[in-house]
Chains A and B, each alone.
Chain A
Amino acid sequence: MTGRVVLGTDSVPSLPRHIKLRWDKRREKWVIQAPEKVMFPDEIAVEILNKCDGAATLGEIVAALAAEYDEKPEDIAADVTEMLQDLADKGYVTA
């Protein structure tokens, strides 16, 4: 890692290898697995993280979410970016 990841529209976010997003059958919940940490993300976070496939740009992710939720991309872009930036600063997302 060479510096802080700052996400922009053209960034391609993904989960680093040591972060795993898995469906836990027993609890019937999505779970984020990280070293010494387990988190249960909310539904929106799961939607966003599942789109961070290492192929789609942040702009494309925002556009896809906007279409699904019948919102304008410009209305949700800031919230989506902020959530992913926060996860990037904690090391759960890279780009």
Chain B
Amino acid sequence: MSAAAAPGAPLALLAELTHRCPLQCPYCSNPINLERASSELTTEEWRRVIVEAADLGALQIHLSGGEPTVRRDLEEIIAASSEEGLYTNLITSAVLLDAERIGRLAEVGLDHVQISFQDNEAGNADRIGGYAGGHEKKQAVAKLVRSVGLPLTVNAVMHRQNLENLDAVIDMAVGLDAERLEVAHVQYYGWALRNRAALMPSRDQLDRATEVVDAARERLAGRLAIDYVVPDYYARRPKACMGGWGRRFLNIDPLGRVLPCHAAATITELEFWSVRDRPLAEIWQSSPAFLRFRGTDWMPEPCRSCDRREIDWGGCRCQALALTGDAANTDPACEKSPLHASMFEMAATESTTAPPDFIYRRIGA
């Protein structure tokens, strides 16, 4: 495949409806500069974008944020998605939901709910999320979700300050009657990069977590599907971030800017186009940000001649920028990167030093 060749259809749209959120998780993947409510896309703008995304071939929509339920028009956005035949997934912290609203969301066509948990222990979970009473509320809402027959994914973000509880987190997901559990090690972009030393697990912690997940997958086959995201810093090969830049996903931020991934705005050299100015199809096919790293022609060595170039697509551009200063460099998660060893060392050192205090996710923090 050549770099700028016409892309296939996207599979999914990640719709960041807002950056507002009552929680303050220090690993939030939102940008450090959070957008304010007054600039968010309107209901009508989202309706148009949803039709355009479905026309372009998207099959799924992930309604995310921030916290998407702060939008009072969430019902209308779900209804529009459902009318277009999109598989509609709500990614939520759950703390603002109640029985009545969950009932309404199910009625208008919501297909699936994903609730984030910060830990299985209420005290630690509320400390990490920066929201008192949050954990208890999440448990209650998870039960309400199941009681109306909606399928549930428990999303557990894991790091050095909760990883010892992984067994109990898995038991919690089973107890909540979830269909699916995401054991997601923190990925270091946005707020998480700022808090990296407070979050990075040690290699021993990671190895034990992997054993716990392997055992649980076997024990719970057919009952609970477990997805497992390993932290890049201890990997030998980079992940195929977003399935390749501009190949499968598009992300629309609260202002309507279309990004190849939710962290792409950290690459400040990129020019993003907005759905306020242009049709989505034109943006997907030819916006400078999508063209910049699509395919393989942009790749430097050692990626360019690597036989895995169309497997991992060069890894993550945001990570390359964050750790090497140039988004076009080989992702240092790859052992072929000259910076791979120093990345591993940095993680090993940070994870065995006393963790600094969290910098919580807040506007203006």
Residues of A near any B CB (own CB < 8 A):
1-5, 16-18, 20, 22, 24, 26-27, 31, 33, 35-36, 38, 88-91
Contacts and interface: CB of A to CB of B under 8 A. Distances in A.
A18 B221 contact: no
Contact of B59 (A24, A88, A89): A24
A89 B221 contact: yes
Nearest to A24: B59
Contact of A26 (B9, B114, B222): B9
23 contacts: A1-B177, A1-B223, A1-B224, A3-B222, A16-B151, A17-B149, A17-B150, A17-B151, A20-B87, A20-B111, A24-B57, A24-B59, A26-B55, A26-B57, A27-B57, A33-B59, A33-B111, A35-B114, A35-B151, A35-B179, A36-B89, A91-B180, A91-B224
B51 interface: no
A89 B226 CA distance: 12
A38 B9 CA distance: 13
Contacts of A3: 222-223
Nearest to B180: A35
A36 B62 CA distance: 8
B207 interface: no
A38 B150 CA distance: 19
Contacts of A18: 111-112, 150-151, 179
A8 B221 CA distance: 17
B251 to A, nearest CB: 14
B7 interface: no
Interface string B162-188: 000000000000000101100000000
B83 interface: no
Nearest to A26: B57
Nearest to B174: A1
Among B12, B55, B89, B151, the most chain A Cβ lie within 10 Å of the Cβ of B151
Nearest to B182: A36
A5 B150 CA distance: 20
B11 interface: yes
A81 B347 CA distance: 46
A4 B222 contact: yes
Contacts of B114: 35
Given A1-B179, A24-B57, 8 more contacts: A16-B179, A18-B112, A18-B151, A33-B59, A35-B153, A35-B179, A36-B153, A38-B11
A38 B12 contact: yes
Nearest to A90: B225
Among B11, B62, B111, the most chain A Cβ lie within 10 Å of the Cβ of B111
Contacts of A38: 11-12, 59-60, 87
A11 to B, nearest CB: 13
A27 B9 contact: yes
A36 B149 CA distance: 19
Contacts of B112: 18, 35
A36 B151 CA distance: 13
A91 B179 CA distance: 8
Contacts of A24: 57, 59
Nearest to B8: A27
B296 to A, nearest CB: 23
Given A17-B151, A24-B59, A35-B114, A88 B222 contact: yes
B297 interface: no
B188 to A, nearest CB: 21
Contacts of A27: 9, 57
Contacts of A20: 87, 111
